[in-house]
Structure 1
Amino acid sequence: MPAHDAPGSMLPEDDTQSAAQAPQYEIPSYTACRSTNTSATAKFPPAMNGYFQSKITTTFHLGPTAGEKLYAVSTPATVFNNKPTIVLHDGPTNKHPIMATAQSDRWGRSRPVAITLPPRPESQRQDSIVEVVPGGPLKHFSPSHMFETSVGPKGITRERFEWRKSHGNEIKELAGFSYGWKLVRLTGPVSNVAGSRKERPRGYTSDGLEIVALIAHNASWSMTKGFRFAFMGAGLTDTMGENWEIVVVISALQLWFIDVQA
């Protein structure tokens, strides 16, 4: 099995369960309906898969289906590099402009993941740096990574978010009996739905915080589909902004990449 395939139950290879038909989430609650392109994300589809070629390559692709690969992700160094770097391109080849880069130590535990967003042609700002710090402000039994970034179309407000390792119901609905990471909105409104998984609505954590994105290792025996990614909750609206979406996507990719290396 290739390095990017995660072990799991044998599920059919079915692109109809991705992107436009990924689980749809009400705002701010979670439902199990399938999406019908009703989300208002700014830059990316509401959900995407990671597609890999059968031959050895340093580039893979993001897209809603295998026939619609929208973005290239390149890994300039070998997968066993001590400082793995991934580069997210604004187009389907590694020749397209760079949207963001992420770099961490090999295991992603001792140093922050450094995310760099180069200035856009229409922007006058310099490179923007976001640090994704291992551990986060809360104590969990499972790994977590926290970051702070600007949100909203104008990027005026700053909020904190935390990636938490997860085997929860949201991950299972997205990719079957798998595992991955859920992105929690730390500075958003706290709900009174906290509690055990059986007691609280999906889309919320045990401490009453909203989940706004997911990345899950593919649970099928696919040789070319490595993971599924989806926005949810407030992340499915345009209120969080394009830069926020870029930071979320590349940080999710880097954590998935660290999992693969481990």
Structure 2
Amino acid sequence: MGNPEEAESHTSEYTSSAPPPYSEAVQGSHREASRSTNGDRHTSTNATRISPYRPFPPILSAHYQWKMITPVFHLGDPTDKRLFAVKVHTGYGGYGPGRPGVVLHNGPTDKYPMLAAAGDEHYANSYSLNGIITLPSLSGGTTADGNCTEILRAATSPDAVVFRFSIEVGPGQDLWREDFEWRKSKGCEEDKGLVGAPWKCGFKLFRLSPRSGKDLDPDPANGTLQKSAPKNQELVAVFAWSSNLNLMDPFKIEFRGSGRTGVLGERFALMTVITGLRLWGLKAQRRTSESKIAAGEARCVPGTSSR
């Protein structure tokens, strides 16, 4: 999944122009404004400081290398297949989020600073419904390293398996939180038309509502998500994988609608990419099936199943 010799050569090539770590770039560059009555608005004094070193292209594809001797692969586009490095993290070592998952680096090798990370909760098992997403903090002061965490929650709905999250959106300095849902494709004709051969639509990302949706918050009584979500939401991204078992270029993320035009902003784009990487890892572990997630839901609801 990566070549260390090639990685070293690229590291030296980009060292002189490498950006500072996110914890440094964000510190002192953002402030959290006083919240409105519904608590969903933020103001950033310089929103561009939390952008990726290279903006995410409309279509971001994964690329592995023939010498798969390191747990590193890349995300890029047709003009450059090595825009961002992704490293599979075992949960050990002095870097990363301190849990098994993936780390997205802000440059073409894993020598670059961490841009975002995704993984299991601490001590989570295969039935865990929550994924922990690590992002740069808007305020720069949430933790000692300047990062903050969001939750990607799995659930079953009447229509499909879903993975939901909330994130700040907006193209400029005035940001607000909105809710989104990765919905697992069932292979219908409509989904087949979203991506051309040899790709297969795996998940579709929907913008649930142009506001902070408290109806998707966990129920404080049992910590679970509600089963239903509003209909007729906007499709803002598609996660697809190769249907011909292409091991070198296995999957891609395509931004659509408001996600493609930039209306939702760069923080949304980063969250889309890192949650897409999380879904890829869960798929490899066979943890996106309806039966698996339903079993996890049963374990989380008091009185429905014993641990």
TM-score w.r.t. the length of structure 1 is 0.67
**Distance change (3 Å), C-alpha of 1:222 and 1:132:** same
- Structure-2 residue corresponding to 1:186: 208
Asked which structure has the greater CA Rg, the reply is 2
Q: Is the 8 A contact 1:163 1:182 kept in 2?
A: yes
Question: AA paired with 2:166?
Answer: E
The structure with more helix, counted as a fraction of residues: 2
More relative contact order in 1 or in 2 (CA 8 Å, sep 6+)?
A: 1
**Matched residue of 1:103: which SS?**
strand
- Structure-2 residue corresponding to 1:256: 280
- Structure-1 residue corresponding to 2:153: 133
- Structure-2 residue corresponding to 1:151: 169
- Structure-1 residue corresponding to 2:304: none
Residue 184 of structure 2 corresponds to residue 165 of structure 1: yes
Structure 1 stretches lacking a partner, 5+ long: 3-40, 190-204
Deviations 1:209-249 (A, max 9, x none): 11101111112342301101100011012221111111111
Q: Is the 8 A contact 1:217 1:228 kept in 2?
A: yes
Matches of 1:44 and 1:125 in 2, distance apart?
Answer: 26
Q: Is the 8 A contact 1:161 1:183 kept in 2?
A: yes
Residue 74 of structure 2 corresponds to residue 61 of structure 1: yes
Question: AA paired with 1:98?
Answer: M
State the identity %.
Answer: 31
Equivalences for residues 238-253 of structure 1 within 5 A: 238-253=262-277
Equivalences for residues 1-262 of structure 1 within 5 A: 43-54=55-66, 55-65=68-78, 67-77=80-90, 84-104=100-120, 109-119=127-137, 124-126=140-142, 127-135=147-155, 139-152=157-170, 153-154=172-173, 156-166=175-185, 167-168=187-188, 169-170=190-191, 172-176=193-197, 178-188=200-210, 207-262=231-286
- Structure-2 residue corresponding to 1:23: none
- Structure-2 residue corresponding to 1:6: none
Question: AA paired with 2:84?
Answer: Y
Q: Is the 8 A contact 2:118 2:274 kept in 1?
A: yes
Matches of 2:175 and 2:265 in 1, distance apart?
Answer: 10
Structure 2 stretches lacking a partner, 5+ long: 2-51, 92-98, 212-228, 287-307
